[in-house]
Structure 1
Amino acid sequence: MNNLNLLFRRRIGIQEYEVITFEKLDKVLEKTAKAIPFENLCIMENRSTEITKERIMSKILEQNEGGLCYELNAILYLFLKENNFSSTLIRAVVYDHMKQQWSVTGNTHVANLLTFDGQVYLVDTGFGGNLPLKPVPLNGKTVESKTGEFRVVQTDSEHGDYILYMKLKHKDEDWKIGYAFRSNEGFHDITNLNEVQKIIIEHPGSAFNKKPLITKITDKGNIILTDSSFTEWKDGKMIKEEIDEKRFSKLRKGYFNL
């Protein structure tokens, strides 16, 4: 077993020699979401580096940091490949519900497409608190998990041929768009993600170059930390605390070990 496979298993809490079957991907995705936070601290602290396999391994598996979608789904992609899954990376355009428009940063969301037994599935561990926690088939079938309901529908749009729809538990009454993507534009070279990172760091419309954001899934919901607030969703109830810089540092360490 190589270093990446071993370190990833240790990071999320899976036995070293456990065989990862398709049926076990639900467990892998949930453990990943709980263990590795979605966060932009490297960008906010001006310490982002070129994306390579070695540097992503170092950041997430050795230094035990988190990352944004292009880092989290890249390390998942590498782990899936090491465990003999047929997977490719894709870029997607997120729908901005606050502004009621597609993201001005374009196709800067990154996820995985996995093919198993003749069916293609969307596999995503980098969508903040909106994670399906299960592979979602590209046939329109609804998948339900502890975070809500998800489905991928073939829909021709200016941004691709498929759209992820979601209905988050305790938050959404109706289906809403997550993101659109082109299923035929997968790629395997993670250095291509440097273009995505550059846009996220530099674009004035990027949501991730303004203030720190850290979030991860918990057993009962999810937690979200910014420089001004700490929000905890637990069994559908939200508790929000306004915080200062000192409190931010304490919560960052205590809840996310960052």
Structure 2
Amino acid sequence: MSKLASLFHQRIGIWENEKITFEKLNKVLEKTATSIPFENRAIMGGNQREVTKENLTNKILEKNQGGLCYELNPLLYYYLLEHGFNAALVTGVVFNQGREEYTTLGRTHVAILLDYEGERYLIDTGFGGNLPLKPVPLSGETVSSSNGEFRIKKADIEQGDYVLEMKLKHKDSDWRTGYAFDSRNPLKDSANLNEIQTIITEHPESSFNKHPLLTRLTESGNITLTDSTFTQWMDGNVTKENIDQARFKELAKEHFGM
């Protein structure tokens, strides 16, 4: 087993030599979502590094940090390749729920497409608290997990040829748009990932370069920490605590190991 795969298993709590089949991807995705946070501390601290396989391994698996979509999904992509899966990275445009329109940042979301036995699936472990926790077929079939229901619709829009829709458990009463993605133009190399990092880091409309954000799923819901609040969803019940900087550091260490 490679260094990356071995460290990945250690980070998410899977037996080091366990053989990962398509049927076990649900387990991998669930453990990844509860073990590795979606977070922007590197951006807020001005500590971004070039997005490479080696740097992602060091940051997320050796230093036990988290990351954003252009870090978390590429790391999972490398892991899948090393387990023999036919996978590719794709980009998408996130839907702004408040404005009810696609964001103006462009194609800054990174996800994974996986081909298996004649079917194509979307895999995503870098979409904050909106993770399907299962491969989602591009055929349109709805999948259900502990985080809600998810499906993909064919589209013919500027933002892409498919759209991920979701209905989060305890949060959504109807389907809503997550993001559109383009299955026709997979990423060729890491240069695209670094371009995305630059946009997320520098664009004035980026939501990840203004305040610290840490979030991850838990067995009963999810937790989200910012510089002013700590929010917990547990079995459909939400609690929110207003915090100061000292409390932020305590909670970051307690709940995110940072």
- Shorter-chain TM range is over 0.9
Deviations 1:55-87 (A, max 9, x none): 111000100000000000010000000000000
> How far did 1:212 drift?
0.1
Deviations 1:7-33 (A, max 9, x none): 011111111111100000000000000
Q: How far, CA to CA, are the matches of 1:191 and 1:217 in structure 2?
A: 30
Match of 1:19 in 2: 19
Name the aligned partner's letter for residue 110 of structure 2. Answer: V
Give the gaps of 5 or more residues in structure 2.
Answer: none
> How far did 1:155 drift?
1.2
> How far did 1:117 drift?
0.3
Match of 2:32 in 1: 32
Q: Name which of structure 1's ranges 191-200 and 119-128 shifts more when overlaid on structure 2.
A: 191-200
Q: TM-score, normalised by structure 2?
A: 0.99
Give the gaps of 5 or more residues in structure 1.
Answer: none
Match of 1:151 in 2: 151
Q: How far, CA to CA, are the matches of 1:170 and 1:190 in structure 2?
A: 37
Deviations 1:167-202 (A, max 9, x none): 001000110000001111112523420000000000
Match of 1:161 in 2: 161
Residues 110 and 221 (structure 1 numbering): CA distance in 2 closer, same or farther, change over 3 Å?
same
Report the aligned-residue RMSD. Answer: 0.7
Alignment of 1:220-231 (within 5 A): 220-231=220-231
Match of 1:65 in 2: 65
Match of 2:195 in 1: 195
Name the aligned partner's letter for residue 49 of structure 1. Answer: R
Q: How far, CA to CA, are the matches of 1:170 and 1:31 in structure 2?
A: 21
Residue 76 in structure 1 maps to residue 76 in structure 2: yes
Name the aligned partner's letter for residue 163 of structure 2. Answer: I
Alignment of 1:85-96 (within 5 A): 85-96=85-96
Match of 1:245 in 2: 245
Which 4+ runs in 1 deviate beyond 4 A? none
| CA contact 2:91–2:187 (8 Å) conserved in 1 | no
Q: SS of the residue aligned with 2:58? A: helix
Name the aligned partner's letter for residue 74 of structure 1. Answer: P
Q: SS of the residue aligned with 1:134? A: coil
Residues 237 and 208 (structure 1 numbering): CA distance in 2 closer, same or farther, change over 3 Å?
same
Q: How far, CA to CA, are the matches of 2:189 and 2:80 in structure 1?
A: 14
> How far did 1:226 drift?
0.1
Match of 2:180 in 1: 180
| CA contact 1:52–1:191 (8 Å) conserved in 2 | no
Match of 2:211 in 1: 211
Name the aligned partner's letter for residue 102 of structure 2. Answer: W
| CA contact 1:74–1:190 (8 Å) conserved in 2 | no
Q: How far, CA to CA, are the matches of 1:246 and 1:187 in structure 2?
A: 41
Q: How far, CA to CA, are the matches of 1:191 and 1:2 in structure 2?
A: 24
Give the fraction of aligned pairs with identical amino acids, expressed as a percent. 57
Q: How far, CA to CA, are the matches of 1:4 and 1:191 in structure 2?
A: 21
Q: SS of the residue aligned with 1:43? A: helix
Q: How far, CA to CA, are the matches of 1:127 and 1:210 in structure 2?
A: 18
Match of 2:41 in 1: 41
| CA contact 1:94–1:179 (8 Å) conserved in 2 | yes
Q: How far, CA to CA, are the matches of 1:7 and 1:117 in structure 2?
A: 28
Match of 1:234 in 2: 234
Q: How far, CA to CA, are the matches of 1:63 and 1:190 in structure 2?
A: 21
